Amino acid sequence: MERNESLADFLRARRAALDPHQLGIDDTAPRRVPGLRREALAALAGVSVDYYTRLEQGRPITPSQSVLDALARALRLDEAERSYLHAVARRPSAPRRPARRAPQKVRPGIHALLARLGDTPAFVLGRRTDVLATNRMARLLLADFDAMPVRERNAVRWIMLDETARAVFGQSWEQVAAVFVGTLRMDAARHPDDTRTAELVGELSMRSEPFRRWWAVQKVVRISHDTKVLHHPVAGELTLRTEALTFPDDPDQTLFTFLADPGSRTDEALRLLASWSADTSDRQESKTGLHHRG
């Protein structure tokens, strides 16, 4: 069996993130690396130091669910990190061959739902944070993903490499970007044989220093809801509540919405943005029509 480097890297990174003093452990001896000692972590998890060391070395071991649960408690993992730990610990009986999966498709009913959301920006994310579908307001608020080449329609890629994304998220860009990197890591654990994920991680590692740093930290995130402050060149500063809804029949597709509080300045600004866009489109169509008639 091949070595489980994903499990080893995750265990080492999460152990390094623990502060012994916050755990009530007196550790004043000089250390070359930060975090909790292997011996202390093994004791907290109730496993032998030798067994835990072999896990961190990527040895071909398949831990039981009870051991994984004990490690999760010792490492103070949240729900998303626990899911990731279990995902990377599951090993196939034979090495997986890299696979290029068929493109994902959004069913017509979801496209209709996006259109019916009106002034509420919304989009659908798929595997590796690919942007599968957007409504008009999402394209106005964030970026026109539909106009991009197919390989560039990816949320992490856009956030990490497009200066427009930095302008949209402003001071919260690092927080938002780190969260989406953590989301990509979760997806990579669920689909470890996906070649397009490997290609995306390779490209971003080459082109983005922040991505390399956050990817190395091994932080895992499952997005659910949040409040974000966005900056738009026409609508100005917008305070929006985000919701992420995963479809029960397809866990690889998630609907994201940006909701404004009714009657708020942001609510009015989105309505004005929608109206401004419609007026601009009408003027462009009018000029095009006059040009053709001439």
The percent of residues in the chain predicted with pLDDT above 70, rounded, is 87
Total Cβ atoms within 10 A of residue 250: 15
pLDDT tens digits for range 135-176: 999 999 999 999 999 989 999 999 999 999 999 999 999 999
The percent of residues in the chain predicted with pLDDT above 90, rounded, is 70
Between these two residues, 131 and 22, which has the higher pLDDT value? Answer: 131
Q: What letter does residue 94 receive in the DSSP assignment?
A: S
Q: Start-end ranges of CATH 1.10.260.40 in the chain?
A: 5-89
| CA atoms of 10 and 72, how far apart (whole Å) | 11
CATH pick for 108-284 out of 3.10.20.30, 3.90.1150.10, 3.30.450.180, 3.40.50.720: 3.30.450.180
Q: Where are the alpha helices (DSSP H) in the chain?
A: 5-16, 38-45, 49-56, 65-74, 79-89, 108-116, 136-141, 155-161, 163-169, 173-190, 195-207, 209-217, 265-293
Contact 204, 211 (CB under 8 A): yes
| pLDDT, mean of residues 28-45 | 80
The answer to whether the pTM exceeds 0.75 is yes
Fold entry, domain 5-89: 434 Repressor (Amino-terminal Domain) (1.10.260)
| CA atoms of 4 and 14, how far apart (whole Å) | 16
> What pLDDT, on a 0 to 100 scale, did the predictor assign at position 48?
95
| pLDDT, mean of residues 265-289 | 70
> What pLDDT, on a 0 to 100 scale, did the predictor assign at position 25?
74
3-state class (DSSP) for residue 234: coil
Total Cβ atoms within 10 A of residue 143: 21
pLDDT tens digits for range 68-111: 999 999 999 999 999 999 999 986 544 556 566 778 999 999 99
> What pLDDT, on a 0 to 100 scale, did the predictor assign at position 32?
62
- Burial tier of 33 (Cβ tally within 10 Å: 0-12, 13-18, 19+): exposed
Place 285 in a pLDDT band, splitting at 50, 70 and 90.
very low
Q: Start-end ranges of CATH 3.30.450.180 in the chain?
A: 108-284
